[in-house]
Amino acid sequence: MDNISRARILIEALPYIRQFANKNIVIKYGGHAMAEQSLKEQFVLDIILMKYVGINPIIVHGGGPQISRIMERMGIQSTFVEGQRVTDDETMNVVEMVLVGTVNKEIVGLINGYEGRAVGLSGRDGDLIQADPMKIYKYTGDERPPEIIDIGRVGKVSSVNVGVLKALEDSGFIPVIAPVGVGPEGQAYNINADLVAGAIAGELKAEKLILLTDVPGVMSSKNELIPSMTADEARKAMEDRIATGGMIPKIKSCLKALGSGVDKAHIIDGRKEHAILLELLTDTGVGTEIVQ
């Protein structure tokens, strides 16, 4: 690439840098982008660049594969219901140990190692993420009540203490959040990271919510990427079982954020090099955007 081409790329990014300056962008970090070293480094550099040009990134990370590996070594079986990990007390201990004690610290260390300024948080720190138990209902027929499926200490976000995040941002830090919430009696809850990211984005009235995943975006029944969809179209994709499994909490996260005032939500392929910058700072973007 010659110097003129590099300059054109910077000029293309300029209106987006101006648009997002001093705005909050909530990013759910997960999938292969957390597993492959080159993608980890690219993600960290993207985040640091965002911060240096005046954008406020807030990271919520997952860690499902890491949790499953540790559970397998400990002889504990993983079970999922509608994309949610069934979490008894023993599993909750593993979840908190891996997410808070290992994954969170690694991300913070990488950012700080590249001369960024990050602070790691659990949702229990400063009561950042308050949670209630999540219930899953299974349809059993038109004339019968739904079956309630017990998934243990799996939570849903009831409220977010955004004062903690604003204090960190005002001091120039990048918050890195492990999706563990605190219940009414102080107990820990395992919360899907997509749902945490959506709740935080909504509470902050963030400019964008970006979810990194291991697929190109939301796929149609013909297995083609849907580049843009409305909230109603996203709901219909779930109802028609076009979106299933782990895509369900991602779409629900986007809908939650949009319903709370977030401008746009994006589900993008974290396996692409510099996927976040391509989504934020270019004319075409990547993945699927969902709008109200």
Closest CA to 211 of 230, 196, 223: 196
pLDDT digits (tens, 9 = 90+) for 155-164: 999 999 999 9
Cβ-in-10-Å burial (0-12, 13-18, 19+) of 198 comes to buried
| pLDDT of amino acid 84 | 81
Q: What pLDDT does 160 receive?
A: 96
Whether the Cβ atoms of residue 227 and residue 279 lie closer than 8 Å to each other = no
* Residue 185: inside a domain: yes
With tokens 């820990």, the residue in question is 188
The answer to whether residue 12 sits within a structural domain is no
Q: Is residue 61 part of a domain?
A: yes
Residue 140's pLDDT is 67
Q: Tell me the pLDDT tens digit for each residue of 11-61.
A: 888 988 999 999 999 999 988 788 888 889 999 999 999 999 999 999 999
CATH number for the domain including 217? 3.40.1160.10
Give the Cα separation of 17 and 12 in Å (integer).
10
pLDDT band at residue 229, thresholds of 50, 70 and 90?
very high
Give the model confidence (pLDDT) of 185-199 as tens digits: 899 999 999 899 999
Phi, psi of 159 (to 5 degrees): -160, 160
* CA dihedral (15, 60, 199, 83) positive or negative: positive
**Domain assignment of residue 5, yes or no:** no
pLDDT of the residue at 1: 64
pLDDT at 43: 93
Domain count of the fold of the chain: 1
Q: Which domain holds residue 66?
A: 22-291
Q: Give the pLDDT score at 114.
A: 94
Band (139; pLDDT cuts 50, 70, 90): low
Model confidence pLDDT, tens digit, residues 101-134: 999 999 999 999 999 999 999 999 999 999 999 8
Q: What is the mean pLDDT of the chain?
A: 90
Band the pLDDT of 149: cuts 50, 70, 90. Answer: confident
CA distances from 173 to 50, 193, 211 (A): 12, 21, 21
Strand partners, 121: 177
Q: What is the pLDDT of residue 82?
A: 73
- 200's enclosing H/E stretch is helix 193-204
Asked, for residue 7, whether it belongs to a domain, the answer is no
* Percentage of the chain modeled with pLDDT above 70: 99
In sequence order, which residues have a C-beta less than 8 Å from that of residue 154 and are 6 or more positions away?
Answer: 84, 85, 86, 87, 133, 134, 189, 190, 191, 192
pLDDT given at position 129: 97
Paired with 58 in beta bridges are: 26
Mean of pLDDT values over 205-214: 93
* Portion of the chain with pLDDT greater than 90, in percent: 62
Residue 16 lies in a domain: no
Would you state the pLDDT for residue 179? 96
What is the C-alpha R_g of the chain? 19
pTM of the model: 0.90
What does each C-alpha distance from 197 to 16, 38, 142, 216 come to in angstroms?
A: 22, 24, 34, 19
CB 43 within 8 A of CB 36: no
17 in a structural domain = no
Give domain status of residue 274, yes or no: yes
